[in-house]
Every structure is written in structure tokens, then in C-alpha cells.
Amino acid sequence: MNKISKKEVCLSYLKKYAEKDLNNIEKMFSEDIVLRDWKLRVEGIKNALAETRKNFKNADTIEIEVLSTYKTKTP
């Protein structure tokens, strides 16, 4: 079984977010998720889904262009 990299998970999340695909985003969230950005911080899957749903409702479209990714060296 192939393990998906953190980069692939991140890019997949951004793709699903841009598509406003709440069903697949929900599958990526754990029960104890902490969703945080420059404006807010919410804890728990119900709160994270509610915030994501609100963002989707407030935006006609969402366009995300990943310009580059960076990987830090782990010890």
C-alpha cells in the first residue's frame, strides 16, 4: 500500500477546497481537528465543517494557485 505524502494531502485539500467539495474535505478532517488561519481558530470537526461551509457560501468561486511548495528537513 502506498503512503500518501503530506504534500499530496495538502494539495488534495486545496483542490477540494477550490471545488467547494465539502464531502471529501470532511473525510480529510479528524474529530479533533484544529482549523486555523490569519482570522480565526476553531476546534472540532463540527466547528471546522461549519466554518468551511460558511466560507463556501460566502464565495461565488474559489481559485487557488499553488506557486510552490517547501519541505523542511526532518531530523
Q: Would you write out the chain's pLDDT as a tens digit for each of its 75 residues?
A: 678 888 999 999 999 999 999 999 999 999 999 999 899 999 999 999 999 999 999 999 999 999 999 888 876
Q: Which residue segment(s) compose the domain that 35 sits in?
A: 30-60
Domain count, the chain: 1
| pTM given for the model | 0.85
Residue 15 lies in a domain: no
Residue 10 lies in a domain: no
Residue 43 lies in a domain: yes
Residue 53 lies in a domain: yes
Average pLDDT value over all residues in the chain = 94
End-to-end CA distance of the chain: 25
Q: Please compute Rg for the chain using Cα positions.
A: 14
Residue 4 lies in a domain: no
Cβ 27 vs Cβ 21: under 8 Å: no
DSSP 25-58: HHHH--TT-EEE-SS-EEESHHHHHHHHHHHHHH
Residues 7, 71: Cα–Cα separation, whole Å? 8
